Amino acid sequence: MSDSIVNSIVNKFLSRSEVGIKKYGTTLDRNDLSTIDWITHAQEELMDGILYLEKLKTLEQCKSLKDEKECHTNP
């Protein structure tokens, strides 16, 4: 049996890895970063994720408002 959702995520991971290798010229197998560096990178990525989620949440909440212009300036 195959799970299409899992397969989709695996393919996205592989694609993201290829982009990262092209962009940064290295993989996550690198050993030039300290544990603190790795933690900092993870924190920055998670903070970005929270921002994206907040944007999506705001957009969903705005759907119920009549004046979208007002919604985008005062979420």
Domain match, 73 and 38 both: yes
Q: Is the separation of the CB atoms in 71 and 62 below 8 Å?
A: yes
Q: Which domain holds residue 17?
A: 1-32
Domain match, 17 and 28 both: yes
User: What is d(CA 36, CA 59) in angstroms, rounded to the nearest whole number?
Assistant: 35
Residue-by-residue pLDDT tens, the chain, 75 positions? 999 999 999 999 999 999 999 999 999 999 999 999 999 999 999 999 999 999 999 988 888 776 556 676 554
Residue 71 has a pLDDT of 72
Tally of domains in the chain: 2
User: What is d(CA 48, CA 33) in angstroms, rounded to the nearest whole number?
Assistant: 21
Domain match, 42 and 75 both: yes
3 state SS of 24: helix
Domain match, 23 and 55 both: no
3 state SS of 26: coil
Residue 50 has a pLDDT of 98
pLDDT of 32-50, one tens digit each?
999 999 999 999 999 999 9
Domain match, 22 and 39 both: no
Global pTM exceeds 0.75: no
